[in-house]
Amino acid sequence: MFSGFYNAGIFAYQTLLQLVAPFNPKARQWVDGRRNWAGNLAKQLVQNTHPVAWFHAASLGEFEQGRPVIEAFRVQYPNYKILLTFFSPSGYEVRKDYDGADYVVYLPADTPSNARQFVHLVNPKIALFIKYEFWYNYLRELKTANIPIVSFSAIFRPQQLFFKPWGQFYQNMLGCFDHILVQNQESVDLLKSINIENVTLAGDTRFDRVAQVVNTKKTIKIAELFKNNKPLLIVGSAWQNDMDVLIPFLNAFTNPLKVIIAPHEIHDDEIELWRNQLVKPSVRFSQATETTVALANILIIDNVGLLSSLYQYGEFAYIGGAFKQGLHNILEAATFGMPIFFGPHYDKFQEAVDLVNEGAAFPISNVTELTLAFTKQYRDSTKAIQISSEYVQRNIGATAKVMDVIQNLLLTERI
């Protein structure tokens, strides 16, 4: 019965996106990207004679989380082809040319016929789901085909449907996995409470990813010239809600401070609005020269791909999204060792909770709270610097644990 409701929900979701696609660019990408998916995928796979490993990520954040495992898999199993699927356009459109995978496609909607056709076409030797995404029909088809299924960097909370008295349908999805590698002990305990025993506490592969970022960071000459040996605040993935607090704070802050602002999404009108509201001189990255950055207090990033390397120049970081949209990646900043500030809604992000509890991160709700917290760290951030960098270092290693599970499953003969 529940499967009927589930499939009806998937059908309704598809129909809704098709209806709004003419008016919504993201919905249009979702729909257009799946058009004739079977024929397009069959063409890509027609000449393949190698075994396939299927990795699935919901969006860009999950991809970055799974990237260390994808790249470790490539090294350890060079004979395999890697298929990477995305649910969201925000992941696919950014990483569709990712050279660590042989095929990058949208995941077709989770209908029984799509799942059956997809699994038959791909015939993966193993399927790996990164953090989230539990699709009933895909899991059922993979299980029926006796294909090993792994979830890694997963995290579970008591309020999720899996752990409700009526959650048997969702519990059955988890039962399809051959192994689930989770981020924390609470997730282990929750899964065992519903008799899911094939669980490993492995941690979060994002720590391995940010460690890679440190080793591969780019030199950004304009940022070096802009900093000019002054204290620097990096604002990463800023939304309007964040800027509503940051702009009054920055306008009133009188101590020496340079600021780099990277919007979550680049919209010219929004950037110009922020520049007009800021009383200190600012310049856009695309228009910056040695002369203009020397005269500016604020540098606004209006292109993509720089943020992770920009953190190397900062003494402080503010990470956006925690007022409404969802806190963005704080680990890239933490790995460079600095106090981190963000909005009040962070409790679903374990690393944020940990760093707040340990004294390296500071949630704020308004301008007054940001002013007080930032001023204190501006005077002495020694403790926060040490805590944040050590936190990342001691949590590295989840990728190796995932690879151990993969190796065991691929070595085990499936009957």
Percent of the chain past pLDDT 90, that is, above it, reads: 88
From 56, 114, 111, 43, select the one nearest 82 (Cα to Cα). Answer: 56
227/169 same-domain check: no
Binned at pLDDT 50, 70 and 90, residue 1 comes out as: low
269/378 same-domain check: yes
17/162 same-domain check: yes
Instruction: Say if residue 413's pLDDT is above 80.
Output: no
pLDDT by residue (tens digit) across 159-200?
Answer: 999 999 999 999 999 999 999 999 999 999 999 999 999 999
Q: Please state, in angstroms and rounded to a whole number, the distance separating the CA atoms of residues 81 and 74.
A: 8
Distances (CA, A) of 87 to 31, 34, 162, 196: 11, 10, 21, 26
Q: Please state, in angstroms and rounded to a whole number, the distance separating the CA atoms of residues 24 and 312.
A: 37
Q: Is 260 exposed, middle or buried (0-12, 13-18, 19+ CB in 10 A)?
A: buried
389/401 same-domain check: no
**Using a CB cutoff of 8 Å and minimum separation of 24, what contacts does 343-350 make?**
343/241, 343/242, 343/245, 346/322, 348/157, 350/155, 350/183, 350/184, 350/204
Q: Please state, in angstroms and rounded to a whole number, the distance separating the CA atoms of residues 34 and 363.
A: 40
pLDDT by residue (tens digit) across 197-255?
Answer: 999 999 999 999 888 888 888 999 999 999 999 999 999 999 999 999 999 999 999 99
Q: Please state, in angstroms and rounded to a whole number, the distance separating the CA atoms of residues 354 and 307.
A: 23
Domain housing 378: 212-394
106/188 same-domain check: yes
189/54 same-domain check: yes
238/356 same-domain check: yes
237/144 same-domain check: no
Instruction: Say if residue 414's pLDDT is above 70.
Output: no
Domain count of the fold of the chain: 2
Q: Is the pTM above the cut of 0.75?
A: yes
259/407 same-domain check: no
272/187 same-domain check: no
Give the domain CATH number at 370.
3.40.50.2000
327/296 same-domain check: yes
253/366 same-domain check: yes
